[in-house]
Amino acid sequence: MKLTEGKSRQVFATESEDEVRVFHKDDETAYNGIKHVIIPGKGIIINKISAILYETLERNGIATHYIRTIDDRQQLCRKVDPIRLEFIVRNYAAGDMTERLDVKTGTKLSIPVVECCYKSDELDDPIINRSYAIALGMASREELDLIEEELGHINLVLTSLFHEVGIKLVDFKVEFGRLADGTLLVCDELSPDSCRLWDEQTDDSMDRDRFRYDLGNVGEMYEEVLRRLSNFINE
């Protein structure tokens, strides 16, 4: 039974109440789904990249929803109660930040910037601050403290992994969900669709910006990210 369908993933129930099956589709979208294309085989690449990223986080003590890869397109994941917030961590200025503020794309930020957004397609995921999130019951103060600490750790682990393969982690988005006992897990998508990845030598985009800004070779660049990560992991 299908539980939910997002822009690039479907989530199915399993025999276990505590686990779900996540299926990666070939859809590539931008601007809240306004721009949309099918890239044949993209779901297979995303499934593999996402598994490498989740396994790396787990190896480094970060609790995530990922359990294991089932096949080419599917992962078995822990079922969580999703928190309706998206957290964006920025190491360099790009995208929305450069449109809102007078800061040039590619500027190195002196500390990582963390943004908290209310997850709502209708409202275009507006940025909110901690007091909104707490006042509106989206997360507790304690949960936000834990998440902030975890975001710093995730940023260090992913920045270092990508650096090993010649890629700059410009920014990324992550989400969190709760288990029945309140434990927080990183969940949802983790891939070049939810990160900005620039080649360290050329500053070429290797992420969804290739699609957003019509830079071409989206699938090829995703494959290149996978090739570099796989080579590094299998070294």
Residues that bind ligand C5P (CB under 6 A): 86, 88, 94-97, 125, 171-173, 194-196, 208
Burial class (CB in 10 A: 0-12, 13-18, 19+), 212: middle
Which structure tokens are listed for 165?
A: 């393969």
Complex with ligand C5P: residue 129 or 231, whichever CB lies closer: 129
The torsion angles phi and psi of 66, rounded to 5 degrees, stand at -70, 130
Complex with ligand C5P: residue 14 or 212, whichever CB lies closer: 212
CA-wise closest residue to 192 among 2, 33, 49, 43? 49
Complex with ligand C5P: residue 68 or 205, whichever CB lies closer: 205
Complex with ligand C5P: residue 85 or 184, whichever CB lies closer: 85
Distance CA 47, CA 226 (A): 10
> CB of residue 99 vs ligand C5P: minimum separation in angstroms?
8
> CB of residue 30 vs ligand C5P: minimum separation in angstroms?
9
> CB of residue 95 vs ligand C5P: minimum separation in angstroms?
2
Using DSSP's 3-state secondary structure scheme, residue 226 falls into helix
Complex with ligand C5P: residue 144 or 206, whichever CB lies closer: 206
Question: In 61-182, which residue ranges form alpha helices assigned H by DSSP?
Answer: 96-100, 130-135, 141-164
> CB of residue 181 vs ligand C5P: minimum separation in angstroms?
28
> CB of residue 170 vs ligand C5P: minimum separation in angstroms?
7
